[in-house]
Structure 1
């Protein structure tokens, strides 16, 4: 069996961060060497050292970082990965254009992957949306996303990514967002014309699917050459 990759979890106190730590402990191909969050109580939890965001530069060596934080935390972890020659897997949404440009620039030196949604099912949905848009020229395209009341950005990063795929197929997507209860994530892509309607839907039942996908992406990305990668490419390419 290959040596486990050394993993840094950035945004460890969030919902996704906690899921990443829990699920990584169940895998033989990853070893979490650092957990980074805004504030730290206990310094070592289950054998994993915890660092505050201001201590990021003092974290031990790692092969890949998985980042589910906020836009203001993205720049430091990207700079750290580039400085250390480590891979970066990020699911942080709401990035500014300059941050996306920095990610593209970093891809010349390290392998990077930014993904709005790490579900394998959503990766398949993304491909289906592009194909449907190409096959249905002139049809209306509407993307409706639903999430829990605490989600800040709207439309969701996943909805925007699906919209980009629809645009590549020639559609002009429109968006609608719902924030209600504890919905983990639902995305409906609807193509409509006179007398016909096609609906492509993905519903997430729990966040573990996203964490598992991100961990799998980190394992695969850590062994890749520098470049900008997508989940579809890593899983199915």
Structure 2
């Protein structure tokens, strides 16, 4: 039986993770704000973090000190957080993703494939909707899908993204990737990637009906990560997609 430690155990995702761990027949434990992360890391085989960007540095330090792998599903990460992850991945196995859903992982693969085969005459728009309490936009999943599209098109998402259109923005940039974020109700997560060409359109979609899909995917990723050497990993590798 594998012991999976949960960072942010009292949050919505933490509760879902505890249920998913039990469903998988594994052992779970966790800490929330103010808890002893180093103690949890020492007592666990692998950790899963869905807490907050502000807590990530201390969590990574604890995992490195205890030499334990970690799955990071926290969204809203900044560039400095990715530097911290890269540094930790020299000593431990780290899987970081904007979405742990197995369905979204496959969707990103399909988006990359479509973007590779459709030229810049096909406009790409990523539309996402989440519950009213979500604080970051675009969602981590939307950025993951946008990055997949950018990789397929061989452009930089940093310079090729269009966000927050309002007022007289001018014509859409050819080949760019647009983002739109909607918030309301209790939506767990809806994502559409639209390829709009001349007189035809393709939409690749994913609907999250319950956050348990993310928890189950995170548990699968955690169990997979146990057998990996120190490095930085992604969800497609869990499914054998790259």
Q: How does the TM-score come out when normalised to structure 1?
A: 0.89
Measure how far apart 1:109 and its partner are: 1.1
Q: Which has the higher contact order (CA 8 A, sep 6+)?
A: 2
Structure 1 residue 6 corresponds to structure 2 residue 19: no
Structure 2 residue runs without a partner (length 5+): 154-174
Contact 2:5–2:47 (CA under 8 A) maintained in structure 1: yes
Structure 1 residue 66 corresponds to structure 2 residue 48: yes
Structure 1 residue 187 corresponds to structure 2 residue 191: yes
SS at 2:107 equivalent: helix
Looking at secondary structure, tell me which structure has more strand per residue.
1
Alignment of 1:99-178 (within 5 A): 99-138=81-120, 139-170=122-153, 172-178=176-182
Distance 1:141 1:90 in 2: 28
In the alignment of these two chains, the number of paired residues is 218
Structure 1 residue 202 corresponds to structure 2 residue 206: yes
Structure 1 residue runs without a partner (length 5+): 39-51
Q: Over aligned residue pairs, what C-alpha RMSD do you find? A: 1.2
Correspondent of 2:67 among 64, 70, 85: 85
Distance 1:189 1:81 in 2: 35
Deviation sequence 1:189-230 (CA, Å, 0-9, x none) = 001121111100100110111100000100110121111111
Contact 1:119–1:210 (CA under 8 A) maintained in structure 2: yes
Q: How does the TM-score come out when normalised to structure 2?
A: 0.87
Distance 2:44 2:83 in 1: 24
